[in-house]
A = this chain, B = another copy of it.
Amino acid sequence: MTIFQAIESIIEPQRFIYGDLLSNEYSHIWKMEEGLNALGLVKVKSTKELSELLKICYKHNQPVVIHGGKTNLVGSTESTKQELVISLEKMNAIEEIDIVSRTMTVQAGVVLEEIQNKAREQSLLFPLNFGAKGSAQIGGIISTNAGGLRVIKYGMTRQQILGLEVVLADGTIINSMKKIIKDNSGYDLKQLFIGAEGTLGVITKAVLKLTEAPTSRISAFVAIKQYQQVVDLLKFMDSHLGGKLSGFELIWQKSYETMTGPNYQKPPIPHGYPYYVLIESLGADPLNDATHFQDLLEQSLDLGLYEDGAIAQNEADLQWFWKIREDVHVLVSQGPIDQHFDISLPIPLIGQMVTKMYAAIMNLKGVIHCFPFGHVADGNIHFIIIKQNSDEALTLAINDMVYMPLQEIGGSVSAEHGIGTHKKQYLSFCRSAEEIALMKLLKKSMDPKGILNFGKII
C-alpha cells in the first residue's frame, strides 16, 4: 500500500487534499495567493485520527509539517513538496469551561479570540493577547509559547497551561489533561512541548488556566528624556501597584512620532521626547484603583521620573492609546520592504544597546527607517526596519547588527516568536553548543526518524 492509499483508507476524501487543489490552500496567512507547497494536506478531526495518521507517516518515513492558524512569524509552518501538511483547524471545539476550577478545555484548532470571549462570558480572563488573536489557534500558540502585551502581570503562554494532550511522532498519545494547578508527580512533560514549535510532538488539546477578570483598567502615556527614568519609573510603578501593573510599553521617539503622525492617531502627548511609555494597570477595585494610579503618577512626576503625561479618561481614550501601540502596520507601511526583530536583553542595558543598534542600522545604505518599541518590563524589544530593497546582503548585515551584540550580554534572538527556519542560523548567538547538542539529543530521542517539522529550530 502506498502512503496515499494508506491515508485515504482512514481520511475522508474532502479532508485529504493534494494535486491542483493545493492551490486553494496556503502556508501562511500573508501568502494566501501562493497556494500550498506540499505533498498533500490532511485536515484531521480527532486525536485518534491524528494518531493513526502519524503511525502511517512514521512507518513510511513521511515528514510532516503542522498547521494551525498559519500566523507564525519565523517560517515554522513552511513546507516543501516532499512534506505532508497536517492541519488541526477542524479540531476547533471548546470542550468545557469549569468556572470553579477556572479552567477551559480546548482542542488545538480553537482561535484565541474565541477563547478570550468564552472566558469573558463567565467574568473570567484568558490573559494572552496579541495582534493575531483573530486567526492564531491555541495549538500553535502553545507550540510557540506566545507572549504579547500582558506578560508582566500574567506570564507567557507557558504559565497559562495546566494540561496538554500531545501525539508523538510514532502516533503515541500522551494524555496529560489534568485540571490541577500543582502536580509534582514525575517529569512535567508538557513543558517539553510548549515552545517546541511542533518538533517534538503535535499538541491536540489543552487545559487552560483562567483567572478572575479584572474590573478596573487604567492607562496613561508619559514622555521621558533619559532611559534611566524609564527604569526608575518602571520600578516605582511596579512596587506601588502591587501586582496590578499589566503593561509598560516603551516606544522610542521615531516610532511614536510615526505612529501619531499625520493621517494616523493623534498624539496624546506632544512629539519631541526621546521615549514614550504606555502604562496599564488592571485591578478589581475600580474606585480606589483609579485614584491610586493617579496619585502614583503625580508622585512620580514630582520625583522627576517623566516630563509630560496623559491618563486615559474614558473607554474611548483607552482604545485610542492602545491603538497607537498595537497598530504596528503604521510602521510597516512606511516603505517598500520591512524586516522585524524580537529580541530579549537585560532591562538595564536596553537604553544604550538600542541607541547603538539604531545608529549602526541607520548608517547602512538602503535602510530608510528603524522603529524600536517593545515590552521593556519584560526586557523584550521589537524593531521594525524599513528598507529600500530586499537584498540578502543588507538583510544579513542588519541581522548581524541586532543579533551579534546579544551574545556578550546574555540576550536572546527570540523573545516571543521562536526560531523556526528564519532565525536558525542565529540560534548559536544565544544558546551554547552544549545546549544545542542537548536539544538535538531530545529531538533524536523523541522523533528518531525526524518526521515532525524537521529542520525547524535545530
| Chain A residues engaging chain B, CB cutoff 8 angstroms | 98, 100-101, 123, 144-145, 147, 151, 153, 155-156, 158-159, 168, 172-189, 191-192, 194-196, 200, 212-216, 231, 235, 238-244, 282-285, 288-289, 292, 344-348, 375, 378-380, 410-419, 423, 427, 430-432, 434-439, 441-442, 444-446, 457-458
Contact = CB atoms under 8 A, between A and B. Distances in A.
Given A186-B419, A441-B445, A284 B239 contact: yes
B243 A145 contact: no
B185 A188 contact: no
A347 B100 contact: yes
Given A174-B438, A189-B435, A231-B100, A183 B241 contact: no
Chain A contact residues, majority secondary structure: loop
Contact of A180 (B196, B346, B431, B432): B346
Given A182-B412, A184-B414, A285 B242 contact: yes
B416 A184 contact: yes
A61 B179 CA distance: 41
A314 B443 CA distance: 56
Contacts of A380: 181-182
Given A159-B159, A185-B414, A284 B242 contact: yes
A282 B242 contact: yes
Given A243-B244, A442-B187, A416 B179 contact: no
Nearest to A413: B185
Contacts of A432: 174-176
Contact of A101 (B347, B411, B427): B347
Given A191-B188, A432-B175, A100 B159 contact: no
A412 B175 contact: no
A181 B379 CA distance: 7
B240 A243 contact: no
A172 to B, nearest CB: 5
